[in-house]
Amino acid sequence: MKESIPPILRPDKVEPVDISAFAAKFGLEIIGAGAGVLLTGISMNTGDLRPGDLFVAMPGKKTHGANFVAKATELGAVAIVTDKAGLEVLGSSELPIMLLENPRAHLGDLAAFVYGNVAGNMPKLFATTGTNGKTSTSYLLEGILRQLGEVTGLTSTAERHIAGEIIVSRLTTPESPEMQALIARMREKGVTSVAVEVSAQALSQLRVDGLHFDVVGFTNLSHDHLDDYSDMQAYLEAKLPLFTKARADRGVVCLDSPYGKAFVKQADIPVVTITSQMGVDADWHVGITAETPSYTSFVLAGPDGVNIRSRVPLLGAHMAANAGLAIVMLIEAGFSAEHIQAAISNGIDAYLPGRTERVTGDSGPDVYVDFGHSPDAFLNTLAAVRKVTEGRVFMVFGADGDRDASKRPDMARVAAEGCDVLVITDHHPRFEDPASIRKALYESAVAARPKLEIYEVSPPEAAIRKAVSLAQPGDAILWAGPGHQDYRDIRGVRTPYSARAEARAALRENGWS
């Protein structure tokens, strides 16, 4: 089955940019006939190119983008930016060419100029980074902003939101031309505030270049993505550029992980701190006042006796911590604590797809589908489920193929230590042998708790049915990994798949509503 990829989102109308003004802005010389050429978009990929685009031909892993200039011309590109190596590949072109060394390093700024995303013409921009909680914090930010009367935008792992329009995401953080086009579309639709989820990879790959954020937030750092970064220090340093004057005005740092203090120390913008842990010195503190399967209530205490009380429609103290971070980011952006309290006094109105999402009906065991796929995410979510469960806690999970394998033993250990019954299954095997992934997880789980009731079941459709068949009312099942995703990656093919639908079907098949 052919993979379905969501489209690039661009504004419906763009004020054309004269190539001479573009060249002058970036100090470039136009090679060839450029008189009268107008730019209405920018692309680095012929698959996304539209008539009127500036095509940026960059060196890639396997070939140079200059090899695709003929295709770009055929599709309607009106000008080329490339480097000396690209110019040698090209030789000549019927389109005007502008020479720019290391074009990727400038791509965000080029796209921002083409789409008119310039200072004085931008909505408020908020960015959140960290290992876990980025998506949740971004959704909570957007929810509160909406309750404050803002017209909101969101770009996250799961979705893009544009003034109420919802579109499935392509990447956690899109490439910089797509990001700039998305922001321009938001501006066109009257968006006044945008919540952006920013991964370490997005910063390393310069995907948020050309954007300057009003406030940035840091959730935590834990074992993940060590297939991309050599160690935890390198992973930390990949996220730090978000907390620089070139990218943001102010920051909020959560001290709930050991790396929070390092962020505070190394940030070169003003930062305030927040924690949900007792005994930790911070500017703001989140305290839990109630936990249920449907919501978590909290109080946020800060300087000058400020106390903000609300609740999140989510399970777990870590979700309240994310809400606290979002609130403090808004205060740092200039929203008053009084206005925020009035807006969220009856709770934060936000739906987070696949984040400890309860898919249970009126009867049967509680089933939660979650996107967590790291040891720390497992730890927090299992603890939250345990706290509101009278009976046994089941866990169903698998691990990504062709991704950081070093975290798998810890994922299995944390899962085994935190549940009463464990079902190990498949997730996205990609090009790895799923049986070998399951075997490694099973062995690590057994090593952690030799007497635990453990099952190895494939495929995941059968795994959730196994868990549901063993569970009773009062029990809870946490299915970690798939969350909101609507596919499984099997040998490079995105096979349609919904954990939420499979969980509901398993409940129905076992006689639960």
Instruction: Tell me the per-residue pLDDT of 498-512, one tens digit each, with 9 for 90 and over.
Output: 999 999 999 999 999
The predicted structure's pLDDT at residue 339: 98
Same domain, 79 and 170: no
**How far is Cα 424 from Cα 412, in angstroms, rounded to an integer?**
9
The predicted structure's pLDDT at residue 299: 98
The predicted structure's pLDDT at residue 238: 86
12 pLDDT higher than 50: yes
Q: Which residues pair with 397 in a beta bridge?
A: 424, 480
The predicted structure's pLDDT at residue 227: 66
Same domain, 166 and 315: yes
Query: Of the candidates 311, 344, 377, which is a domain's last residue?
Result: 344
pLDDT (average), residues 284-307 = 96
The predicted structure's pLDDT at residue 151: 98
Same domain, 34 and 78: yes
What band does 2 get if pLDDT is binned at 50, 70 and 90? very low
Residue 458 lies in a domain: yes
Domain limits for position 442: 357-509
Residue 262 lies in a domain: yes
Site of tokens 């106390």 = 307
- Percent over 90 (pLDDT), the chain: 79
What band does 170 get if pLDDT is binned at 50, 70 and 90? low
| Contact of 193 with 151, CB cutoff 8 Å | yes
Residue 12 lies in a domain: no
Same domain, 337 and 477: no
CATH at 249: 3.40.1190.10
Same domain, 164 and 230: yes
pLDDT in tens, 15-45: 999 999 999 999 999 999 889 999 999 999 9
Same domain, 368 and 503: yes
The predicted structure's pLDDT at residue 483: 85
Residue 89 Cα to chain centre, angstroms: 37
What band does 173 get if pLDDT is binned at 50, 70 and 90? low
- Percent over 70 (pLDDT), the chain: 96
Residue 304 lies in a domain: yes
**How far is Cα 265 from Cα 329, in angstroms, rounded to an integer?**
19
Same domain, 171 and 315: yes
Site of tokens 């494939």 = 458
Same domain, 81 and 209: no
Q: Which residues pair with 80 in a beta bridge?
A: 55, 97
The predicted structure's pLDDT at residue 172: 53
The predicted structure's pLDDT at residue 131: 84
| Contact of 225 with 235, CB cutoff 8 Å | yes
CATH at 41: 3.40.1390.10
Residue 138 lies in a domain: yes
Within 8 A by CB and 6+ apart from 431, the residues are 401, 402, 491, 492
pLDDT in tens, 107-135: 999 999 999 999 999 999 999 999 888 99
The predicted structure's pLDDT at residue 282: 98
pLDDT in tens, 393-443: 999 999 999 988 999 999 999 999 999 999 999 999 999 999 999 999 999
| Contact of 367 with 391, CB cutoff 8 Å | no
Query: Of the candidates 344, 370, 402, which is a domain's last residue?
Result: 344
Query: Of the candidates 115, 146, 164, which is a domain's last residue?
Result: 115
Residue 5 lies in a domain: no
Q: Pick the residue with more confidence: 29 or 4?
A: 29
The predicted structure's pLDDT at residue 226: 61
Helix (H, G, I), strand (E, B) or coil at 297: strand
Same domain, 310 and 362: no
The predicted structure's pLDDT at residue 4: 47
pLDDT in tens, 77-111: 999 999 999 999 998 889 999 999 999 999 999 99
Same domain, 95 and 153: no
Same domain, 154 and 243: yes
Domain count, the chain: 3
Same domain, 249 and 397: no
What band does 59 get if pLDDT is binned at 50, 70 and 90? very high
| Contact of 466 with 423, CB cutoff 8 Å | yes
Residue 316 lies in a domain: yes
What band does 160 get if pLDDT is binned at 50, 70 and 90? very high
pLDDT in tens, 215-230: 999 998 876 656 666 7
The per-residue pLDDT of the chain, averaged, comes to: 93
1 pLDDT higher than 50: no
Residue 56 lies in a domain: yes
CATH at 461: 3.90.190.20
Number of other CB atoms surrounding residue 175 within 10 Å: 23
What band does 158 get if pLDDT is binned at 50, 70 and 90? confident
Instruction: Please tell me the chain's helix, strand, coil percentages from 3-state DSSP, rounded to the nearest 5.
Output: 35, 25, 40
